[in-house]
Amino acid sequence: MTPGIRQAEKAGISFEIKEYSHDASSASYGEEAAQALGLNSEEVFKTLLAQSNDGKLVVAVVPVSGTLDLKALAKAASCKKMEMADPVKAEKTTGYVVGGISPLGQKKALPTFIDASAQSLDKIHVSAGKRGLEICLAPDDLLSLTRGQWASIGRQN
């Protein structure tokens, strides 16, 4: 039971947990999850932490089929510039390990931006808080639980 799963349970939303055997040699945690679970990579979202030029951390949730557009994220967060956060700082701030960072149940509530593409889906999959564990839920529930905002921050590869 992870803090993210506990948050979803406490909120009383409908969700499903999906588990798979994580391969430590996998190059992409999100793509690994999609393949292992037989899911379309547009339905699986990765949770990334970025940092503004003034040190403010934000959470970005984007499809694993693409990449995070840092310029679009900076605009959404009303910052001049964004860069990827240091992994050690990301782990310390969220309480999760890289590759298992969930947008739910983080130690510190951070501004969260979810790619607008999620709005067209019935369900999305995000990390449930550890490598090899995904939570499937309605995009609007994720938005509500994270107190997030929709933003066009993903870029398709």
Question: 95-133: buried (b, 16+ CB within 10 Å) or exposed (e) per residue?
Answer: bbeebbbbbbbbeeebbbbbbebbeeeebbbbbbbbbbb
Predicted pLDDT at 25: 81
Instruction: Check if the beta carbon of residue 19 is closer than 8 Å to that of residue 135.
Output: no
What is the signed CA dihedral for 54, 73, 107, 23, rounded to 10 degrees? -120
pLDDT tens, 104-131? 999 999 999 999 999 999 999 999 999 9
Is residue 54 predicted with pLDDT exceeding 80? yes
d(CA 2, CA 126): 13
Q: State the pLDDT at residue 63.
A: 96
- Domains (ranges, CATH) in the chain? 3-156 (3.90.960.10)
Of residues 99 and 76, which shows the higher confidence score? 76
Q: Tell me the pLDDT tens digit for each residue of 97-106.
A: 998 999 999 9
Q: How confident is the model at residue 24 (pLDDT cuts 50, 70, 90)?
A: confident
- What the block records as the tokens of 120 is 């067209």
14-18, 33-37, 90-94, 121-125: segment of lowest average pLDDT:
33-37
